[in-house]
Amino acid sequence: MNKHPIISILILLIGIPGLTYSQDFSITADVDRTRISVNDLIVMTVTVSGQDLNNVPEPALPDLNNFLILGRTSSTTSSFNFMNGKISSSQTIRYIYQLQPNAVGEFVIDAITASYEGKRYRTKPITIEVVQGTAQTPSQGGRGSVQQPLPGVDNQTNLREELFVRAVIDKKKAYVGEQVTITYKLYTRVGLANVRYDRMPSYTGFWMEEMYSAQHLDYQEEIIDGKRYSVSTLKRIALFPTVTGEQQIAPLSMLCDVQIARRRSLFDRFFDDPLDPIYSRTRQTRIESETQTIDVLPLPEAGKPDTFKNAVGQFKITASIDQAVAEVSQPLTLTVILSGKGNIKTLEAPVLPTMANFKQYASESKENINANNLRIGGFKTYSYVLIPVISGVNQIEPPAFPYFDPATKSYKIASTNPITITVASEKWDPTTGFMPQKTAVIQIRQDIQYIKPETVFLGHQGGFLFQTPWYLILHALPIAAIFGTILYRSHTNRLQHDVGYARWRRAHGQARREFQVAKKALNQDRFEQAYMHISNALYQFIADKNNQATAGLTSPQIVDLLSDWKIEEDMINQVKHCLDACDMARFSPTLLTKENTKEVLETAEKIIHTLEQKMVKE
Amino acid sequence: MLICPSVKMKQTCKKYIICLFLGMMCFGCGEGEIDPQAVELYRQGNLLYEQDRFAEAGRTYERIVQRGIQNGYVYFNLGNAYFKQQRIGQAILAYERASRLIPRDDDVKTNLSVVNLKILDQIATETPWPGQRLLDAVTINECTVIASVLGGVTVLILLGYILMPNSRRFLMRIGIGCGVVFLLSVGLTGFKIYTMLNHQEAIILDAASIIRSSPDESANPLFTLHEGTKVQLVEIRDAWLRIQLEDGKIGWLKQEQLEVI
């Protein structure tokens, strides 16, 4: 029972971080309003949030038959948590679309889908009511009364020459993505009141950015064709073409009340006070600017860098790191700033090169846009969180940023110096240290092993050893060895136990040794000695062969023994003669010559040789 | 004057051991007459393979085989060259031949299993008993040498038994042990040789071959086999072969549709 509290604490410890950070994927879509006029724009924001969104593609929009997509931008924010030595990150990507309706009625934007880890997620459909006519919230900027008193206009006078709106564009030709500035100016020679926008053009085919919108009418004097006009700038809008070809900009239409001079009676004239509005009548008038055409050129293909992502303008890139010296597992922030003039809002984030020594997390992007000097510009800041994995000195090559410069009509590449980061090895603290997450090595494909090198043995291996003659012959060896050993063993046994056999075996060898000694004596001219050894050899040989004692052996006995061996008479006589010669020489020194001794020795050798062959045991 | 028998015996032993070593060396040499032209062809084949010219590399390796040299490494590289040309049947044939010559080579095993994944036919096979694996891991020649060496050792012990009456009890024991192992190895070698001679295997080379009920073009088709499948040869009659699958199916097919490993 006392185990349970421990288990529940463990479950709590393990469970809580899991619950807190097992963040789910979500996708939502919002529009800024659901009831608009045909000429209005709506802004739809698709928000995708979850962990590790790097691989999540942009959500697929449904078919928007009743809307035009005028522009698209996205922003990313990330948050990181370091908890229990693990990093968890959550990201939110906002895709912002500008939509313009092209018909009146009630339309449904169908569900937007995104797939994440194999599952599909959907947003709720959005219903938008598009109504005819003026926007419900007409631009406040245009409303204002003429501050400067102007003479009233006569009914008969051509109002067109007295009051008009002009749309001025700064260039007739532009590249896709190049800024075109359109300025609306109100020219008037009559007094106006209650000036307001009737209809704003849709700017189809452009991404628009309003640079200036008049809060009230500030008039300046301008003379055209000798006529003095009061001129007020109404709006200045930066347009970035998104489609090539001739693009028309619909006119801007305005409504205003024009003061009309009455035909006055004398009485009236007496009391006439031009400053008193009570005495003037007004008439509502609609004025429209002329339609403007811009020829949008495609970007030249020649020299287009591979990494080019539709950035048009003049840009600079800078990169910085918050710490130049870091430790393994300590997060660093790499900040990349894109600045310059052009379509900053639509720029895509530069992609960092993959770095083996760092783990990368895209964190957030911020943008700051201003419209100085009639050109849209600003800067966009991208932050990346880098976590060093290995110690050492690392160079990070910040991404080069290619762009098209419409002023020089050429592609340029903005780049910055590499950043050096010195990563020290981690201070090892097993309790709080950052533990790398181990992942299993997964083989994605099976393929054959590579060919063998030339170092392998390349001879013939196919033959069978049991078919090779010499190999079979080799096996006779052990069999022969066994027989040989058995024979040898029985022989040594007999030598040990049968003295007669042993003497018979050794007789020839002993005789030869005697003859050797005799020869030595002969060479030293000791003939008597030589004869003695020869006779010894003969006596010894015959005694050994017959297993008899050497001493006391006499010539007749020898003859008898030899006869037993069935030796021929002739041979026995030779033996006898030889033995006699030896005896004679020992007693008559005249015979002791070298020649005689040598002759006797050779005869004795011959005799022994013959006897050895004859005296064979069964 | 008698020569001490133990000294004499030592000399005999030495002589015998030297003979045995000479025999072993002869065995090594007998396998090792390397044909320089084969080495050159092998080198060329590897160069062609490295340049991804697999068809030419395959032809170059084939020329080594045509010279009468059966070498596991050559067959292995040949199998790779065929595999790269998507010729599954030929690749399996080459790998099977390699695995009979160098049965313990891991690369051959790996590649054979990779190529076997590409075979279309699935045949129920029995899981081999452990001894079968052991038997498959040695070549017939290795079995033969092991049996011979064991026989030699047994004979040496027997000689010791004859010549050294003092340590007969000890020698008797190890001699019997050695002799039993020797007889076992002889039996296994015999079994391997018997299997090789009587259970020849072949690889189907045609993309699809119809197996018929009798050695006759008009006979009833029984089943179809695809390129790369291994079959056992049962009988040969003229241009027809009787084959058996591992699951027991039997039928006849033409000789040119397969090749014996």
Chain A residue numbers with beta carbons less than 8 Å from the beta carbon of B49 are 451
Residues in A 472-501 with any Cβ partner in B closer than 8 A? 474-475, 477-478, 481-482, 484-486, 488-489, 492, 495-496
Residues A105 and A152: beta-carbon distance below 8 Å = no
The DSSP result for B52-88, as a single string, is: T-HHHHHHHHHHHHHTT---HHHHHHHHHHHHHTT-H
Strand A325-327, strand A419-424: pairing: parallel
Residues A254 and A198: beta-carbon distance below 8 Å = yes
| Range A20-26 average pLDDT | 58
pLDDT value at B179 more than 90: yes
- Contacts of B25 by beta carbon, 8 Å cutoff, 6+ apart: none
By Cβ distance, the residue of B39, B81, B144 closest to A458 is B39
pLDDT value at A4 more than 90: no
Average pLDDT, chain B: 84
The answer, for A266 touching chain B at a CB cutoff of 8 Å, is no
The DSSP result for A439-468, as a single string, is: ---------PPPPP-TTS--S---S-GGG-
pLDDT value at B183 more than 90: yes
Q: How far is A601 from chain B (nearest CA, A)?
A: 27
The answer, for B209 touching chain A at a CB cutoff of 8 Å, is no
pLDDT at A83: 63
Phi, psi of A347 (to 5 degrees): -65, 145
The DSSP letter of residue A155 is S
pLDDT at B163: 86
CB contact under 8 A, A459 and B31: yes
Rounded Cα distance between A356 and A377, Å, is 35
pLDDT value at A59 more than 60: yes
The DSSP result for B2-59, as a single string, is: PPPHHHHHHHHHHHHHHHHHHHHHHHHHHH----HHHHHHHHHHHHHHHTT-HHHHHH
Higher confidence at residue B143 or residue A60? B143
Q: For residue A240, what are the β-bridge partners?
A: A207
Residues A242 and A205: beta-carbon distance below 8 Å = yes
pLDDT at A67: 81
Query: Within A88-220, where are the H helices?
Result: 159-162
Q: For residue B251, what are the β-bridge partners?
A: B243
Chain B residue numbers with beta carbons less than 8 Å from the beta carbon of A457 are 32, 34, 71, 73
Phi, psi of B69 (to 5 degrees): -100, 120
ipTM rounded to 2 decimals? 0.71
Where does the pLDDT of residue A618 fall: very low under 50, low under 70, confident under 90, or very high at 90 and above?
A: low
| Range A120-130 average pLDDT | 83
Where does the pLDDT of residue A212 fall: very low under 50, low under 70, confident under 90, or very high at 90 and above?
A: confident
Q: How many cross-chain Cβ pairs, A to B, lie less than 8 Å apart?
A: 128
Residues B72 and A440: beta-carbon distance below 8 Å = no
Residues A28 and A123: beta-carbon distance below 8 Å = yes
pLDDT value at A25 more than 50: yes
Q: How far is B99 from chain A (nearest CA, A)?
A: 12
Higher confidence at residue A281 or residue A381? A381
State the first-to-last Cα distance of chain A, in angstroms, to the nearest integer.
102
Distances A354 to A276, A358, A574, B68 between C-alpha atoms, Å:
75, 8, 115, 54
pLDDT at A559: 81
| Minimum mean pLDDT range among A121-135, A192-206, B169-183 | A121-135
The DSSP result for B91-132, as a single string, is: HHHHHHHHHHHSTT-HHHHHHHHHHHTT-S-----PPPPHHH
* 3-class secondary-structure state, position A89: strand
* 3-class secondary-structure state, position A612: helix
pLDDT value at A13 more than 50: no
User: What pLDDT, in 10s, does the model give residues A312-353?
Assistant: 888 888 888 888 888 877 788 888 888 888 877 777 777 777
Residues B167 and B160: beta-carbon distance below 8 Å = yes
| Range A273-288 average pLDDT | 64
User: What pLDDT, in 10s, does the model give residues B59-73?
Assistant: 999 999 998 888 999
Residues in B 163-202 with any Cβ partner in A closer than 8 A? 163, 189, 193
How would you list the strands of the sheet with A192-199, edge to edge? Answer: A192-199, A253-260, A281-288
User: What pLDDT, in 10s, does the model give residues A66-75?
Assistant: 787 777 777 7
pLDDT value at A137 more than 70: no
Is A313-424 in the same CATH topology as A159-297?
yes
- Give one word for A373, left, alpha or beta, with left for phi > 0 and alpha for psi -120 to 50: left
Rounded Cα distance between A392 and A328, Å, is 9
pLDDT at B131: 79
By Cβ distance, the residue of B5, B71, B107 closest to A460 is B71
CB contact under 8 A, B159 and A449: no
User: What pLDDT, in 10s, does the model give residues A78-98?
Assistant: 776 666 666 667 778 888 887
Burial A275-308 (b: 16+ CB within 10 A, else e): eeeebbebeebebebeebebebbebeeeeeeeeb
Query: Within A40-124, where are the H helices?
Result: none
Burial class (CB in 10 A: 0-12, 13-18, 19+), B197: exposed
Query: What percent of chain A shows pLDDT beyond 70?
Result: 83
Tokens of A410: 């050429």
Chain A residue numbers with beta carbons less than 8 Å from the beta carbon of B102 are 461
CB contact under 8 A, A461 and B72: yes
Residue B112 CB neighbours (<10 A): 19
| Range A409-425 average pLDDT | 84
Long-range contacts, A372-376 (Cβ 8 Å, 24+): A374/A170, A374/A181, A374/A211, A374/A236, A375/A179, A375/A181, A375/A238, A375/A341, A376/A179, A376/A209, A376/A211, A376/A238, A376/A240, A376/A341, A376/A342, A376/A343, A376/A344
Chain B residue numbers with beta carbons less than 8 Å from the beta carbon of A449 are 80, 106-107, 110-111
Burial class (CB in 10 A: 0-12, 13-18, 19+), A108: exposed
The answer, for B60 touching chain A at a CB cutoff of 8 Å, is no
pLDDT at B153: 93
Residues in A 207-236 with any Cβ partner in B closer than 8 A? none
Residues A52 and A91: beta-carbon distance below 8 Å = yes
- Contacts of B197 by beta carbon, 8 Å cutoff, 6+ apart: none
CB contact under 8 A, A452 and B12: no
pLDDT at A140: 38
User: What pLDDT, in 10s, does the model give residues A507-559?
Assistant: 888 889 988 998 888 888 888 888 888 888 888 888 888 888 877 777 778 88
pLDDT at B78: 93
Query: What percent of chain B shows pLDDT beyond 90?
Result: 37
By Cβ distance, the residue of B32, B76, B107 closest to A459 is B32
CATH code for the structural domain at A496-614: 1.20.120.330
Cα-Cα-Cα-Cα dihedral sign, residues B161, B165, B168, B174: negative
pLDDT at A502: 87
Nearest to A514 by CA among A550, A546, A547, A549: A550
Alpha-carbon torsion angle B161, B165, B171, B173, nearest 10: 110
pLDDT value at B224 more than 80: yes
How would you list the strands of the sheet with A67-83, edge to edge? Answer: A26-31, A42-50, A86-101, A67-83
Higher confidence at residue A593 or residue B25? A593
CB contact under 8 A, A459 and B74: no
CATH 3.40.1000 is right for the domain spanning A159-297 = no
pLDDT value at A108 more than 50: yes
Tokens of A137: 């919230």
Tokens of A353: 């090169």
User: What pLDDT, in 10s, does the model give residues B17-75?
Assistant: 655 555 554 454 445 567 888 899 999 999 999 998 999 999 999 999 998 888 999 99
Residues B81 and B45: beta-carbon distance below 8 Å = yes
Q: How far is B39 from chain A (nearest CA, A)?
A: 7
Higher confidence at residue A98 or residue A6? A98
- Contacts of B84 by beta carbon, 8 Å cutoff, 6+ apart: B49, B52, B54
pLDDT value at A426 more than 70: no
By Cβ distance, the residue of A464, A481, A496 closest to B141 is A464
Chain A residue numbers with beta carbons less than 8 Å from the beta carbon of B26 are 470, 474
User: What pLDDT, in 10s, does the model give residues A144-172?
Assistant: 444 444 454 444 456 777 788 888 888 88
Chain A residue numbers with beta carbons less than 8 Å from the beta carbon of B110 are 448-449
Phi, psi of A288 (to 5 degrees): -130, 145
Tokens of B192: 């391997």
Burial class (CB in 10 A: 0-12, 13-18, 19+), A505: middle
The fold of A24-131 is Immunoglobulin-like (2.60.40)
Residues in B 65-124 with any Cβ partner in A closer than 8 A? 68-74, 76-77, 80-81, 83, 101-102, 106-107, 110-111, 114-115, 117
pTM of the entire predicted model: 0.46
Domain boundaries, chain A: 24-131, 159-297, 313-424, 496-614
By Cβ distance, the residue of A451, A461, A481 closest to B46 is A451
CATH 1.10.10 is right for the domain spanning A313-424 = no
Residues in A 419-478 with any Cβ partner in B closer than 8 A? 446-454, 456-466, 468, 470-471, 474-475, 477-478
